[in-house]
């Protein structure tokens, strides 16, 4: 059956270029026979973490929604060479409750920037943080620089090498999902 793949965007901005990349990857996933699931981090109402707060319901919902998927793709902007607080907060909050969503699905990383650098520093950080919580992240990362010319009029990702990287990342995800399922 079609594997469920969650897509998480690290930007809530209406005209987010990372949202654009998320939707382009959604199209790719559907074309490859997967079932993409858009996870809107704004819908989980997570306050900024601190240790005196009670566990918000949104934490359990987010863990449940992610754990139901065989794969997770994070599509995120880079802020000052690192990952945005929206994502770090979601990782930190959920890590206090469970690791199932980190260790169950296979994860992939993508990032879009207006300039040429394509969010490599952010994905590097994210890779490290996810490693710390036991996540398997596929090695191919989808960096998309020069966002203004990376998509066609229908929202397809067309620039190279980004387009080839997306193809490779999705193929790696599918392969690892299949291999994990065969072992379990
Ligand atoms: C940025 N931006 C940015 N870009 C980049 O390539 N490397 C960086 O380190 C940063 N740092 C940074 C810090 C902060 C606080 C902001 C607000 C922005 C620019 C960023 O890539 C650009 O605003 C994107 O359009 C943000 O992504 P969304 O919201 O369009 O998906």
Question: Mind listing the pLDDT tens digit for each residue in 135-173?
Answer: 999 999 999 999 999 999 999 999 999 999 999 999 999
Residues 114-129, mean pLDDT to the nearest whole number: 97
pLDDT above 70 covers a percentage of the chain that reads 100
Domains with residue ranges and CATH for the chain: 4-183 (3.40.50.360)
Transcribe 133-178 into DSSP letters.
TT--B-S--EEE--GGGTB-TTS-B--TTHHHHHHHHHHHHHHHHH
pTM of the predicted model as reported, rounded to 2 decimal places: 0.97
What φ, ψ does residue 53 adopt, rounded to 5°?
A: -75, 150
> How far, in Å, CA of 12 to CA of 150, rounded?
20
Q: Does the Cβ of 114 fall within 6 Å of ligand 1? A: yes
Q: Does the Cβ of 113 fall within 6 Å of ligand 1? A: yes
Residue of 79, 80, 143 to test ligand 1 pocket, by largest number of atoms within 8 Å of CB: 79
- What pLDDT, in 10s, does the model give residues 59-87? 999 999 999 999 999 999 999 999 999 99
Confidence at residue 184, expressed as pLDDT on a 0 to 100 scale: 78
Closest to 170 in 3D by CA, of 67, 93, 95, 72: 72
- What pLDDT, in 10s, does the model give residues 2-56? 999 999 999 999 999 999 999 999 999 999 999 999 999 999 999 999 999 999 9
Confidence at residue 134, expressed as pLDDT on a 0 to 100 scale: 97
Query: How many whole angstroms from 15 Cα to the centroid of ligand 1?
Result: 13
Between the CA atoms of 98, 133, 2 and 119, what dihedral angle is there, to the nearest 10 degrees?
130
Confidence at residue 140, expressed as pLDDT on a 0 to 100 scale: 97
Q: Does the Cβ of 84 fall within 6 Å of ligand 1? A: no
The yes-or-no verdict on residue 94 having pLDDT over 90 is yes
């Amino acid at each position: 059956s079609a594997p469920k793949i969650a897509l998480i965007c690290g930007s809530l901005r209406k005209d987010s270029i990372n949202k654009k990349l998320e939707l382009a990857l959604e199209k790719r996933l559907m074309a490859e026979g997967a079932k993409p699931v858009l996870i809107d981090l704004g819908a989980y109402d997570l306050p900024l973490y601190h240790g005196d707060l009670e566990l918000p319901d949104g934490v359990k919902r987010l863990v449940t929604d992610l754990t139901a998927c065989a794969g997770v793709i994070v599509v995120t902007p880079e802020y000052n060479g690192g990952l945005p607080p929206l994502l770090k907060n979601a990782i930190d909050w959920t890590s206090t409750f469970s690791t199932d969503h980190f260790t169950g699905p296979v994860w992939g990383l993508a990032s879009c920037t207006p300039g040429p650098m394509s969010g490599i520093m952010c994905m590097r950080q994210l890779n490290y943080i996810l490693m710390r919580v036991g996540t398997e992240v596929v090695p191919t990362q989808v960096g998309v620089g020069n966002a203004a010319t990376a998509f066609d009029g229908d929202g397809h990702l067309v620039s190279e090498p980004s387009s080839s990287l997306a193809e490779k990342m999705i193929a790696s995800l599918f392969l690892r999902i299949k291999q994990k399922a065969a072992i379990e």
